Chains A and B, each alone.
Chain A
Amino acid sequence: MNTISDGRPGEKRLMQGNDAFARGALEAGLAVAAGYPGTPSSEIVENLARVSRERNIYVEWSVNEKVAMEVAAAASFAGLRSAAIMKQVGVNVAADFMLHLSETGTRGGMILISCEDPGALSSGNEGESRPFAKLFEVPLIEPADFQEAKDMTKWAFELSEEIRNLVMIRSVTRLSHASGNVVLGELPAETPAARFEHKGDFMDPDKGYMVPFPVHFRHLQMQKKLRKAVSIFEDCPFNSYEGPEAPEVLIVTSSAGYLYSKEAIQLLGVEGRVGLLKMGTTWPLPPKFMEKYLSTSPVIYTVEEVLPFLEDNVKILAAELAGRIGVKTFHGRSDGTLPSVNELNPDLVAAGLSKILSLEYTAMAPAYAEIAQAAGATAAPARDLAFCAGCPHRSSLWTIHNVLEMDGREGFLCGDIGCYTLGVMATGYGTLKTVHAMGSGTGLASGFGKLKQFGMDQPVLSVCGDSTFFHAVMPALVNAIHNQADMTLVVLDNSGTAMTGFQPHPGSEEDAAGNAVPALDIAEIAKAMGAHVEQSDPFEVAATQNKLLSLLDKGGVNVFILKQGCALGPEKKGRKLFDVSVDEDVCFGENCGCNKLCTRVFKCPGLKWDPEKKTARIDDVICSGCGMCASICPSGAIQKKEIA
């Protein structure tokens, strides 16, 4: 089986972007990596963890992104090369530390890889972390393809050591979760030694204090480091230009925008008219290098993911250089040439370019498109996201929904980040009413739970997963208990970070590398904090319902732990608990007394409706054998038989 540490130098491999980042870090001699799972970043840490024993490196899934960055920084302070790895929203969590890290600087090379999700394919936002580089005065680089993902990661460590500060790498879904060819480099043979030197002079960058004081002096240092980075960027092999000497339009792009732009130019056949300036170093921009290319064209078209970050910086630079390069016309995300939201693709970039050049571009013949649209409308039913067959969240939300309806006081559930976020949709019976950041559900519940004095009598519930509990719910729970809010936190404990692929967390018995570690017990923690704690198995519908009903009448802070493993988790995947079948003679079907409760309302993908026989059926390929539908079937037609 292949891992990122196999392969001879010079060998060409098909690698996922995230494999390439991990390989680049290994080739750079990375010693410590820490992160928190989040799509599309998780595979980098997973890949590194898989080879951690063999490569003698330390890799951890940290409790949250701030701690991950602190763990990585410690390694840097001890002279090692280290990486903090997270998705875009994680950088928000780590930001407070990141500012102060930038003030103290680093020792061993340290990088931050932020994998972002333009288009929010698996996020609740189209967040950007690039502005943090500007905000905290650290350099930012953006690889544009798979080879660069590896090579720029390796280079980033060198850059970090040269300037003695953090270097930020930004990836996007279409790089992290895409694959392409990568030529491998050497892996270093030696393991470096760690030592934190602190006995030197206060200001000594190698042996002194890692503190932000004196602030003004440190701030000046930060800016000096950034200027050094700029001078390096002037001669950086990852900034390149292709196209004519005096293009009609100069595309300035970075990251996935580069491959889209290249394809757009080919689609329109305008290779002779359009220049393509690919920037690997997007903050700060190297002014001399930029001047050379900006001066070649009157029209600048910036192609980048999410915010017009590059575009704005190009505009500032162009204004400063206006005397020498002349006045420019700008196109991009800002002026509507590209849409201001959602991710890009070659067609959007081509459409923008054709508008600028006043060209006609038709991607699909109208006659064909018309038939295809008609086919799609009738023969491609929309697929809403759904909890998997056998998912315990479906059962938990079923009961929470029913309890809130039965209680009848318009109680509500504040949501959080995890698979259960789908609870806002039909698959969770629309039960979740708020979704914000990690841990925010319980923070909001803590606030709602104090509104009694203003006449609010609605029961307040929040929900979180086991991993989220440790990540950010604990402080919110502390807050609720200390401030005597009335609320119930429901912890959906499915024994892992299920949404991102089952990474371990502080409640797990194994760490990222598979070593046995102490598992922290959520119930004991909540009890020690002073919450009233109850537990139940969400597949035990009646018991769970009764417990939750009684908790709604209890004041103070309650924690209700619903424990049942993820249907795709390592213990369960492919293993059915029950053989489930439908007795067609007993099934009420559409009749009064049931009216298709299982298929119409419960909606597990393992169920099917047979329109001819007018009975429910089980899809044996999809059914995971949890037996939940048998528990809710009002006629007893769905039967479960335990598999020995």
Chain B
Amino acid sequence: MLIFGSKELVNDVIQRDLCIGCGMCMDICPYFKIYRGKSAMLFPCTLEQGPCNAHCPKTEVDLDGLCRFYWNEPYDGRPLGHFSGILAAKAGKQVKAGFQGGGTVSALIAYALEKKMVGGAILTGAEGIEPVARLVKKPEQVAASAGSKFIAAPTLSALNQAAREGERRLAVVGTPCQMTAVAQMRMNPLAREDFEDPVALTVGVFCNWALENRQLTAYLSERMDIAEITGMDIPPPPAEVLVVKTTTGEKQFPLKDIRKLIPHTCFICTDMTAEWTDVSVGMYEGRSGWNTLLVRTRTGAELVDKAVADGWLKTEAFPEANQKMLSNAALAKKERSFRHADRQGYLNQDDEESRPALRVPPEVLARFLG
């Protein structure tokens, strides 16, 4: 994989408006800051290579390289990525309430913390509607970070900070873009001799798109007092609304308006289910109170088995029809995004001025572009 520095990061990501604000370049150095979803380089850094660029999920992401590293296979563009099992899941009786949907993520993280399988977890909390990065060390603190945020969050800054402070064996929960960043970091792309992987468990959450922090804030500010907001939800179809929970009740906003607030970087994302993780969790369409759980690695499988055995997680078989639906949705996202990214010139291109967002094996790409 080709490694560049901050100059190229600014050129290829920030200036192209591809930054999703995942937090991976933040808190590794004093130069990059993310404020309300937007990253900025405060001063030029002259180094030619840096983790800021190497870990970024929006530039020089080598899908084949990732696939070979994690699965020992070439990248073939399969819709849901590699996985060993797919289940319906929800939090078990041992888990107290306070989560959204099925509570599978909260249950798994709380369980891993309880059983000391991990030393801490990097989660996304919220202050009002502003998502904030959190390092959580106690199972009972997990619930406070439960729930979808719908806004791109600088979660990984907390991972950088914790790693700096010497934390190892961390769990990370994140969206596909965030988990791509984490996966790249774990490959030690700069081949640093003193590299120690700070991550012991990766939990991905399904994602089709996120909302742009500042635009959403501006949109909501015009329509309500954003200081009152306590949470947000997008109920399953056919509702087609964003529900905003406030201290004085709920407000609904049509999704057709809300979709305009999706940053264009989401339209080059080819990953719906967070493919480079131990487990991935998402909505179970048509079955309220349950999640879809993809088990990808042996670490993931062990965690799920133990959590089920100890009553922290409840699982059932996932119907084939649903799997087909999920797969189709993931495939649709891939097709859409590969095509869009290709049109924008973000795939595989090599020129003096800029570098590609994604590198994809040409034969795989050809299949998607048809």
Chain A residues packing against B (C-beta within 8 Å): 401-402, 405-408, 429, 549, 590, 592-595, 597, 600-601, 632, 634
Question: Can you list 9 A-B contacts (CB < 8 A)?
Answer: A401-B42, A402-B33, A405-B40, A429-B43, A549-B35, A592-B28, A592-B190, A597-B30, A600-B46
Task: Check A406–B30 contact: CB distance below 8 A.
Answer: no
B29 near A402 with CB under 8 A, answer no
Given A594-B29, A594-B30, A595-B29, verify A601-B43 contact (CB < 8 Å).
yes
Contact check: which of B41, B43, B47 meets A592 at CB < 8 Å? B47
Chain A residues with CB under 8 Å of B47's CB are: 590, 592, 595
Chain A residues positioned under 8 Å from B46 (CB to CB): 595, 600
B38-60: contact bitstring with A at CB < 8 Å (1 yes, 0 no)?
10111101110111000000000
- A592-B29, A595-B47, A632-B30 known; 15 new pairs, CB 8 Å cut-off, are A405-B40, A405-B41, A405-B42, A407-B35, A408-B35, A408-B38, A590-B47, A592-B28, A593-B28, A594-B30, A595-B31, A595-B45, A595-B46, A597-B30, A634-B30
| Shortest Cβ distance from A590 into B: residue | B47
Q: How far is the CB of A589 from chain B (nearest CB, A)?
A: 12
CB distance from B186 to the nearest CB of A (A): 18
Q: B245 CB to closest chain A CB, in angstroms?
A: 23
B52 CB, min distance to chain A CBs, angstroms: 8
Residues in chain B near residue A595, CB distance under 8 A = 29, 31, 45-47
Q: Are A406 and B40 in contact (CB-based, < 8 A)?
A: yes
Given contacts A592-B51, A595-B46, A595-B47, contact A405 B33 (CB under 8 A): yes
Residues of B within 8 A of A632 (CB): 30
Q: How many A-B residue pairs have CB under 8 A?
A: 43
Could you say which of A402, A595, A597 has the most chain B C-beta atoms within 10 Å of its C-beta? A595
Instruction: Give A634 to B50 CA distance when docked, in angstroms.
Output: 16
CA distance in complex: A632, B29 (Å): 11
In the assembled complex, the Cα of A590 lies from the Cα of B49 at a distance in Å of 12
Smallest CB gap from A633: residue in B? B30
| A402, B47: Cα distance in complex, Å | 20
A597 to B32, CA, bound (A): 12
The answer to whether residues A406 and B33 also contact, given A595-B45, A595-B46 and a CB cut-off of 8 A, is yes
Give Cα A402 to B31, complex, Å. Answer: 10
**Whole-angstrom distance from the CB of A569 to the nearest CB of chain B?**
29
Q: Which residues of B contact A402 (CB under 8 A)?
A: 33, 42
A592 — which chain B residues lie within 8 A by C-beta?
Answer: 28-29, 47, 49-51, 190
B162 to A: closest C-beta gap in Å: 15
A402 to B30, CA, bound (A): 11
**Chain B hits for A593, CB < 8 A:** 28-29
Residues in A neighbouring B29, C-beta threshold 8 A: 592-595, 634
Interface residues of B in 190-221 (CB under 8 A from A): 190
Nearest B-chain residue to A596, judged by Cβ = B46
Q: In the complex, which residue of chain A has the Cβ closest to the Cβ of B46?
A: A595
What A residues does B33 contact at CB under 8 A?
402, 405-406
Q: B28–A406 contact, CB under 8 A?
A: no
Q: How far is the CA of A594 from the CA of B46 in the complex (A)?
A: 11
Nearest first, the 8 A-B pairs at minimum CB distance are: A406-B35, A405-B40, A408-B38, A634-B30, A601-B43, A405-B42, A593-B29, A592-B50
Q: Which residues of A contact B42 (CB under 8 A)?
A: 401-402, 405-406
The CA of A513 and the CA of B282, in the complex, are separated in Å by: 76
CB distance from B311 to the nearest CB of A (A): 44
- Most A CB contacts (10 A, CB to CB) among B31, B38, B42 go to B42
B304-336 near A? 1/0 per residue, CB < 8 Å:
000000000000000000000000000000000
- Min CB gap A604→B, angstroms: 15
Can you name the residue of chain B whose Cβ is closest to the Cβ of A402?
B42
Contact residues of B between 236 and 291, Cβ < 8 Å to A: none
Could you tell me the distance in whole angstroms from the C-beta of A603 to the nearest C-beta in chain B?
A: 11
Contacts of A429 in B (CB 8 A): 43
Contact B40 A408 (CB under 8 A): yes
Closest to A408 in B: B38
Chain A min CB distance to B184 (Å): 15
What chain A residues lie within 8 Å of B45 (beta carbons)?
Answer: 595
Chain A residues within 8 Å of B35, by CB: 406-408, 549
Q: How far is the CA of A401 from the CA of B45 in the complex (A)?
A: 16
Contacts of A407 in B (CB 8 A): 35
Tell me the nearest residue of chain A to B221, going by C-beta. Answer: A553
Task: Tell me the bound Cα distance from A406 to B28 in angstroms.
Answer: 16
| Chain A residues whose CB sits within 8 angstroms of the CB of B28 once the complex forms | 592-593
Please give, as numbers and ranges, the residues of chain B lying within 8 Å of A549 by CB-CB distance.
35
A592 to B31, CA, bound (A): 10
CB-CB under 8 A from B31, the residues of chain A are: 595, 597
Chain B minimum-CB-distance residue to A552? B35
CB distance from B197 to the nearest CB of A (A): 18
In the complex, what's the smallest C-beta–C-beta distance from B91 to chain A, in angstroms?
36
- State the CA gap A592–B29 with chains docked (Å): 7
Chain B residue contacts of A597, Cβ below 8 A: 30-31, 43
Q: How far is the CA of A276 from the CA of B40 in the complex (A)?
A: 63
Q: Which residues of B contact A406 (CB under 8 A)?
A: 33, 35, 38, 40, 42
B179 to chain A, nearest CB (A): 23
A594 to B43, CA, bound (A): 11
Could you tell me the distance between the alpha carbons of A263 and B170 in the complex, rounded to whole angstroms? Answer: 79
Nearest CB in chain A: distance from B152 CB, A: 14
Chain B residue at smallest Cβ distance from A406: B35
In angstroms, how far is the closest chain B Cβ from the Cβ of A563?
A: 24
Q: In whole Å, how far is A556's beta carbon from the nearest beta carbon of chain B? A: 16
Q: Which of A429, A590, A593, A634 has the most CB of B within 10 A?
A: A593
Q: Give bound CA distance, A452 to B45, whole Å.
A: 34
Bound CA span A596–B97, Å: 49
Rounded to whole Å, the gap between the CB of A462 and the closest CB of chain B is 21
Report the minimum CB–CB distance from B41 to chain A (whole Å). 7
Most B CB contacts (10 A, CB to CB) among A408, A549, A592, A595 go to: A592
Docked Cα-Cα span, A294 to B138, in Å, equals 96
- How distant is the Cα of A408 from the Cα of B212 in the complex, in angstroms? 14
Proximity bits, B6-43, A CB within 8 Å = 1, else 0: 00000000000000000000001111010100101111
B316: shortest Cβ distance to chain A, in Å? 46
Docked CA distance A547–B100 (Å): 34
Residues of B close to A401: CB separation below 8 A = 42
Closest to B54 in A: A592
* Cα(A405)–Cα(B43), bound, Å: 9
Alpha-carbon separation in the docked complex, A407 to B213 (Å)? 13
Q: How many angstroms between the C-alpha atoms of A117 and B337 in the bound complex?
A: 64
Task: Tell me the smallest distance from the CB of A600 to a CB of chain B, in Å.
Answer: 8
* List of A residues within 8 angstroms of B30 by Cβ: 594, 597, 632, 634
CA of A105 to CA of B29, assembled, Å: 67
Cα A405 to Cα B36 in complex, Å, equals 12
Who on chain B is nearest to A601 by CB? B43
Least Cβ–Cβ distance between A30 and chain B, in angstroms: 52
Complex alpha-carbon distance, A622 and B42, angstroms = 27
Instruction: Give chain B nearest CB distance to A637 CB in angstroms.
Output: 13
A588: min CB distance to chain B, Å: 9
Report chain B residues within 8 Å CB of A594.
Answer: 29-30
What is the CB-to-nearest-CB distance from B123 to chain A, in angstroms, rounded to a whole number?
23
CA distance in complex: A429, B41 (Å)? 13
Within the assembled complex, what's the spacing in Å between the Cα atoms of A184 and B26?
68
| Minimum C-beta distance from A454 to chain B (A) | 19
Closest Cβ of chain B to A143, distance in Å, is 49
Most buried by B among A401, A407, A408, A632: A408
The answer for the CA separation of A632 and B30 in the assembled complex, in Å, is 8
Residue from B35, B46, B49, B50 having most chain A Cβ neighbours under 10 A? B35
Q: How far is the CA of A597 from the CA of B41 in the complex (A)?
A: 13
Q: B333 to chain A: closest CB distance in Å?
A: 28
Enumerate chain A residues within 8 angstroms of B41, measured Cβ to Cβ: 405
When chains A and B are docked, how far (Å) is the Cα of A475 from the Cα of B198?
Answer: 57
With A and B bound together, what is the CA distance between A175 and B41 in angstroms? 48
Kindly state the separation between the CA atoms of A405 and B29 in the bound complex, as whole angstroms.
16
Q: Given the complex of chains A and B, what is the CA–CA distance between A559 and B50 in angstroms?
A: 39
Report the bound CA distance from A595 to B48 in whole Å: 11
Q: How far is the CB of B370 from chain A (nearest CB, A)?
A: 38
Q: For residue B49, which residues in chain A have a CB less than 8 angstroms away from its CB?
A: 592
